[in-house]
Amino acid sequence: MTNAIIPAPSSITLGTSGLGRDAHAGTEGHRRAVELAVAMLRSPHTLLDTANEYDGGRSEEVIGLAMREVGIAGPAPVVTKVDRDLGSGVFDRDRVLRSYDESLARLGVDRVSLVHLHDPFTISFEEAAAPGGAIEGLIELRDSGAVDSIGVAAGPLPMVRPYVETGLFDAILVHNRLTLVDQSAADLFAAARERGMTVFNAAPFGAGLLAKGSASGARYGYHETTPELRDWVASAEQACSARGVDLKAAALQFSLNSPLVHSTVVSASSPERLTQLAALVSASIPAELWDDLAALGPAPSNLDDDRPEAR
């Protein structure tokens, strides 16, 4: 089949997985969350990435309020994700359609252009592909014109790969697998691009470690960081410092410069972080730094996608 055409995203898509945390209506946290979403919508980045399950739906609710405040009347600059029923784990065709309707209600829009199948951990690929399965629901959304494009979003590569190989999907989002530390998604991203899919690379900072540094105790990819990985990151910090570069800038630009990636998904927890993000994007990186980092050898990533609990 011919994949649907997704409007070209900007090089950065803003992630909103924590946008609704503690953002209960009437609280100071809610006000700050809406202000942040407004700042995101007014930034040069063309898409916000959210999901039905993020913070119990509050991420989408906050984005909806912000869109109304900004006065966005045209197509929503939002990518969302359909999620399993959090109570039962059911993730079939009917749940996909309900999840999408829930998201539209929270966002206050009639449609979004792209919707991902999100973290299908409670079902096998065979169940997703069976009649009445989740894939059928997604195709129904696209064929009916309710969305333009469908994607798959998860972490473990063995989980994502069979969806890509169907040729039915228009986009892919994988997190923590194309960074300075872990490049295991490279082959899958290349295969997706060959199929004409749009590639979103999420979590270029490894969900914390490459932003907070080796001494921070931060985890990588939602898993505890091993001493070996901390040592490698400390060496990368030294290499960056010797070239006058912030490790965060190198980590972000590694993804931005990859020919495999259309858009890098980055979270920003405050308007100040949005400003800092712009500085990281514009930071000058000497070409020699990439050679210095390569000379460190492969990082001992703590992710093992063969583990059942890998996410």
Is 139 within a domain?
A: yes
Tell me how far CA of residue 265 lies from CA of 98, 147, 171, 182, 232, in angstroms: 26, 21, 13, 16, 24
Closest CA to 179 of 282, 274, 250: 250
Instruction: Quote the DSSP letter at residue 178.
Output: S
Residue 119 has pLDDT above 90, yes or no: yes
Is 206 within a domain?
A: yes
Is 309 within a domain?
A: no
pLDDT at 2: 42
pLDDT band at 75 (very low <50, low <70, confident <90, very high): confident
Q: Over range 194-208, report the average pLDDT.
A: 96
pLDDT in tens, 248-276: 999 999 999 999 999 999 998 899 999 99
Tell me how far CA of residue 201 lies from CA of 33, 123, 198, 206, in angstroms: 24, 23, 10, 11
Is 305 within a domain?
A: no
Number of domains in the chain: 1
Q: What six digits make up the tokens of 228?
A: 């070996």
Is 302 within a domain?
A: no
Task: For tokens 């913070």, name the residue.
Answer: 55
pLDDT at 307: 61
pLDDT in tens, 153-181: 999 999 999 999 999 999 999 999 999 99
Is 304 within a domain?
A: no
Question: Where in the sequence is the domain holding 195, given as residue range(s)?
Answer: 12-295
Q: Over range 109-125, report the average pLDDT.
A: 97
pLDDT at 9: 87
Reported pTM? 0.95
Q: What six digits make up the tokens of 186?
A: 């490279």
DSSP string, 94-106: HHHHHHHHHHHHH
What does the alpha-carbon distance between residue 158 and residue 164 come to, in Å, rounded to a whole number? 10
Is 248 within a domain?
A: yes
Task: For tokens 């931005």, name the residue.
Answer: 256
Q: The CATH number of the domain where 146 resides is what?
A: 3.20.20.100
Is 2 within a domain?
A: no
